[in-house]
Amino acid sequence: MPSPGAPRPDCPFCRIIHAGAPAKIIHEWHDALAIVPRGGECTEDHLLALPCGHVVDFTTGPVVSATVQLRAAELAQRLGGQWNYLTSCGLDATQTVFHLHGHLVPRAAGDGLALPWSHAAREQEPAR
Ligand SMILES: [Zn+2]
């Protein structure tokens, strides 16, 4: 059993961080990395913030998750603008890579981007 935080050879983010797999790196800290998602951008300038150590999701590494959110906030503040910061735990919650990561999604008025928790059926219901 690998130790907590140890790189996993089967993890695409660990391969970027520890094995030189190709990625467009936007910023590096000693404990985290910001990259451009490969092929999965939901908007232009969508970024991912991820810890250097392997943690599956925010529930398995809450302190690591807080650090990653801090790094994402530092980067978003430096870049300016308005953002969503999103992270997921589990397939049903839209997690597709099981190495903790936060999505930094730039937002603009009228961008038409629906958040993952939009619920079309509920939006059809009349307000009570
Ligand atoms: Zn990993």
Tokens of 18: 């520890």
What is the DSSP secondary structure assignment for residue 39, as one 8-state letter?
S
The length of the chain is: 128
What is d(CA 74, CA 72) in angstroms, rounded to the nearest whole number? 5
Where residue 23 falls among pLDDT bands split at 50, 70, 90?
Answer: very high
Q: How far is the CA of 33 from the centre of ligand 1 (A)?
A: 12
Q: Confirm or reject CATH 3.30.428.10 for domain 12-124, answering yes or no.
A: yes
Where residue 5 falls among pLDDT bands split at 50, 70, 90?
Answer: confident
Q: How far is the CA of 52 from the centre of ligand 1 (A)?
A: 8
pLDDT in tens, 30-69: 999 999 998 766 777 899 999 999 999 999 999 999 999 9
| pLDDT the model gives residue 38 | 85
Mean residue pLDDT of the chain comes to: 89
Tell whether the model's pLDDT for residue 2 goes beyond 90: no
Q: How far is the CA of 41 from the centre of ligand 1 (A)?
A: 19
What is d(CA 51, CA 109) in angstroms, rounded to the nearest whole number? 30
The structural domains of the chain, with segments of one domain joined by +, span: 12-124
Q: How far is the CA of 19 from the centre of ligand 1 (A)?
A: 11
Tell whether the model's pLDDT for residue 89 goes beyond 90: yes
Q: How far is the CA of 80 from the centre of ligand 1 (A)?
A: 28
Find residue 105's DSSP bridge partners.
Answer: 84
Q: Taking a C-beta distance cutoff of 8 angstroms, is the pair 99, 10 a contact?
A: no
Q: How far is the CA of 107 from the centre of ligand 1 (A)?
A: 28
